Chains A and B, each alone.
Chain A
């Protein structure tokens, strides 16, 4: 790391203060603040859901803030579209590269602002020449004429960076650019970032990897729960302190799981592999246990769950439920064996929003309720009433449309729907995402009760407090591999965070 340049800090390139953003009832960003200076690489860190990406999208002009101030080069600005922020000289490289797979590398770099000749003809030669020059400067060996489909993530990132450079961006935001890169590729990216810094540009670098933050950046801002926590010079802080600031609360007694007797192994996953997504994933879940799959967004947790349930295919490995091996790719068979999956995206995959509560709850057990091929409302309602009562679903009637319920009540309906199949193993993906705090603990109590009744529960969660409070064991997934298998006692925020951001395989 080179010393931060200049004794007198340059005027900030970009200042955000008290910026807030909500989506309906869900607050994504409570109060975000950030100051970027020219010639500096600034790190932004925080847990999943801390509001980092929302902040980035506000800078990019993709979202419009609800409150707070936004100054760029000393002027207050309101970017209504991404084109405006781009025109002003802000380039954003998103976590997932956003390229047009069918178009050539050169076209991707210049899309929307191609140099033109007379009659509006695109000057293809000039475009290509500039890309060649940029790639030379970056030390990249990518054919400018090939389509971007099939480029490795690393090369796609470099195309994005070339794009930003051709914009002559004054501010360059990189949202977890290294998540999918290997060591050598990261080094090359860092070399480019430092060169850009030395040209006097302001860089914002979002990462979960502390070693990278300390290696590359000179300043770091921590966010938690949609709020600004602190900004410090890298030289004045430590990993321990940053982790404390990121986690920042007493997490142990928020969501207590009652201890249940642990029984037989009900779900056993052995060597599960899907090329390019996850590798050699093995674990088991016993009756009465809640096992959490922790890790960063995009680590491959949901993909593992979906493959185990049979929604997605897998290339190798076995899934065994209560001693019987499942045929892959057959969710119906998995359900018959007693496996249930409550998906992450409630609105799209879980609840039928245009149907009533009763219809939703009985959806998975229609066959059983049907008499001589006829499904009566009476049968539906009788079955649904029992479940709704058990879960304390708050709604005017059983005909109330699921879409009109609150997030928490929707989730209860979805859980009830799956429990109606009387599963032995329940996989829940982000059980409390988008649910207000009060209802959250109700959902947690429900899951705890179910484990107490002898269900084996596999819970995917990005919220560290939920993981630490609910899980008997924590499996941490990093880039498609299980990097840690922690008991309740071992599972500290630091240990989980460490495993979620490091490649090391911990012996199990």
Chain B
């Protein structure tokens, strides 16, 4: 080993340094892109940032997606995906509205708990099927995406919950702010901080990464893969539920289509934010910034006068670009590995 030591270590540090730089680059890069988009759009129309409404929209609109993207990132890191989050969000939003209509005497902060619990329960259904029936999560959550939405449509019909059905205090949450930071955004940031704390400092969070990095090795290590899997889906469901509650507060109207399409936006946000689609790497912070970038681009393109069709294309290009970037990095690493093996074989 002494013979190969020097080049080995050189390769080690430069590779490690490069990998670290890349990770940093991604989150920093996405943040820079976000700032750039805001700057360019504001230059065209100062109201985008500087008007009261503009500033609030800039922070509030991505907050709901951010909540879902954080949950989604946790699931993707375990090498799974949760496509049902949009439907969970919709169903929870309607449930919350119904609770207000049927039980107006209930103290309104309690609906947060109801939303979290109900979303978590739907997530538990996903997680249990994936963990025990060993069906790929892509299929399971595609199924529940339709099933939950179907229940929602059946339950709601052409009905809808209106702002007048909900308590004033609750609706105020959607518009009020502390030091100009909207409450909804503060809630989302608190959740993000908690999720980030869990993913970096807790055994459970680290095991999410381990499972996604190599599922077989996770079993050989004796990790409780099943329990972690279910946890990830419950968290994802609960956060989608929370997003449903906040949606009701923010928009005041809930019909049967709330949250549809959010699932793919959440996957997109996570991927743009550097969460590897095959699991094992990425951070919830990256996914959160990805959500901000994605939503802000959606809002800024019309301001910049870009046609509807091209708006979609830009988002698509962003997602593909992110994935191509990841796979290029992975391939380069693979090649380095093959060369290293070659060398050690002499």
A167 shortest CB reach to chain B, Å: 11
Assess the A112–B12 pair: CB atoms within 8 A. no
Query: Chain B at the A interface: mostly helix, strand, loop or mixed?
Result: helix
Assess the A103–B209 pair: CB atoms within 8 A. yes
Q: Which of B219-227, B241-249, B287-295 contacts A (4 or more CB under 8 A)?
A: B219-227
Residues facing B in A350-373 (CB within 8 A) are none
Assess the B209–A82 pair: CB atoms within 8 A. no
Assess the A102–B337 pair: CB atoms within 8 A. no
Within the assembled complex, what's the spacing in Å between the Cα atoms of A496 and B16? Answer: 42
> Contact flags (1/0) for A126-161 with B, using CB distance below 8 Å?
000000000000000111011101111111000000
**A residues less than 8 Å from B11 (CB atoms):** 150
Assess the A101–B223 pair: CB atoms within 8 A. no
Within the assembled complex, what's the spacing in Å between the Cα atoms of A107 and B8? Answer: 21
Within the assembled complex, what's the spacing in Å between the Cα atoms of A82 and B218? Answer: 10
How many positions in chain A have a CB within 8 Å of any CB in the partner chain?
47
A276 interfacial contact with B, CB 8 Å? yes
**B residues less than 8 Å from A155 (CB atoms):** 8
B346 interfacial contact with A, CB 8 Å? yes
Q: Which of B58-66, B162-170, B200-208 contacts A (4 or more CB under 8 A)?
A: B200-208
B338 interfacial contact with A, CB 8 Å? yes
Assess the A83–B217 pair: CB atoms within 8 A. no
Assess the B338–A146 pair: CB atoms within 8 A. no
Q: Given that A100-B210, A100-B280, A111-B206 are contacting pairs, would A143 and B16 also be in contact in the complex, using a CB cutoff of 8 Å?
A: yes
Task: Output the nearest chain B residue to A163 by Cβ-Cβ distance.
Answer: B221
Assess the B201–A81 pair: CB atoms within 8 A. no
Within the assembled complex, what's the spacing in Å between the Cα atoms of A107 and B217? Answer: 13
Assess the B333–A100 pair: CB atoms within 8 A. no
Assess the A112–B338 pair: CB atoms within 8 A. no
Contact of A102 among B3, B8, B280 (CB under 8 A): B280
**B residues less than 8 Å from A103 (CB atoms):** 206, 209-210, 213, 280
B51 interfacial contact with A, CB 8 Å? no
Assess the A111–B223 pair: CB atoms within 8 A. yes
Task: Output the nearest chain B residue to A110 by Cβ-Cβ distance.
Answer: B206
Contact of A146 among B16, B213, B341 (CB under 8 A): B16
Assess the B202–A121 pair: CB atoms within 8 A. yes
Assess the A100–B338 pair: CB atoms within 8 A. no
Assess the A112–B203 pair: CB atoms within 8 A. yes
**A residues less than 8 Å from B172 (CB atoms):** none
Q: Given that A81-B222, A142-B12, A275-B342 are contacting pairs, would A98 and B214 also be in contact in the complex, using a CB cutoff of 8 Å?
A: yes
A116 interfacial contact with B, CB 8 Å? yes
B308 interfacial contact with A, CB 8 Å? no
Task: Output the nearest chain B residue to A86 by Cβ-Cβ distance.
Answer: B222
Contact of B341 among A84, A86, A153 (CB under 8 A): A153
Assess the B344–A182 pair: CB atoms within 8 A. yes
B47 interfacial contact with A, CB 8 Å? no
Assess the A100–B214 pair: CB atoms within 8 A. yes
Contact of B221 among A112, A116, A121, A153 (CB under 8 A): A112
A325 interfacial contact with B, CB 8 Å? no
B339 interfacial contact with A, CB 8 Å? yes
Task: Output the nearest chain B residue to A180 by Cβ-Cβ distance.
Answer: B341
Q: Given that A100-B209, A143-B16, A188-B1 are contacting pairs, would A150 and B333 also be in contact in the complex, using a CB cutoff of 8 Å?
A: yes
Residues facing B in A88-128 (CB within 8 A) are 92, 94, 98-103, 107, 111-112, 114, 116, 120-122
> Contact flags (1/0) for B1-31 with A, using CB distance below 8 Å?
1111100110111011001000000000000
Assess the A147–B222 pair: CB atoms within 8 A. no
Assess the B333–A98 pair: CB atoms within 8 A. no
B331 interfacial contact with A, CB 8 Å? no
> Contact flags (1/0) for A72-85 with B, using CB distance below 8 Å?
00000000011111
Within the assembled complex, what's the spacing in Å between the Cα atoms of A121 and B220? Answer: 24
**B residues less than 8 Å from A120 (CB atoms):** 201-203
Assess the A121–B201 pair: CB atoms within 8 A. yes
**A residues less than 8 Å from B333 (CB atoms):** 149-150
**Can you name 24 A-B residue pairings with CB atoms under 8 Å?**
A60-B220, A61-B222, A81-B222, A82-B221, A87-B222, A92-B220, A99-B217, A100-B213, A100-B214, A100-B218, A100-B280, A102-B281, A107-B210, A111-B221, A112-B207, A112-B210, A120-B202, A122-B202, A145-B16, A146-B16, A150-B11, A150-B333, A185-B344, A275-B342
Q: A98-B220, A99-B217, A185-B1 are in contact. List 8 more A-B contacts (CB 8 A).
A: A102-B209, A103-B280, A112-B203, A112-B207, A141-B5, A143-B13, A143-B16, A149-B337
Chain B positions within 8 Å of A, measured between CB atoms, are 1-5, 8-9, 11-13, 15-16, 19, 201-203, 206-207, 209-210, 212-214, 216-224, 276, 280-281, 333, 336-342, 344-346
Chain A positions within 8 Å of B, measured between CB atoms, are 60-62, 81-87, 92, 94, 98-103, 107, 111-112, 114, 116, 120-122, 141-143, 145-147, 149-155, 180, 182, 184-185, 188, 275-276, 479
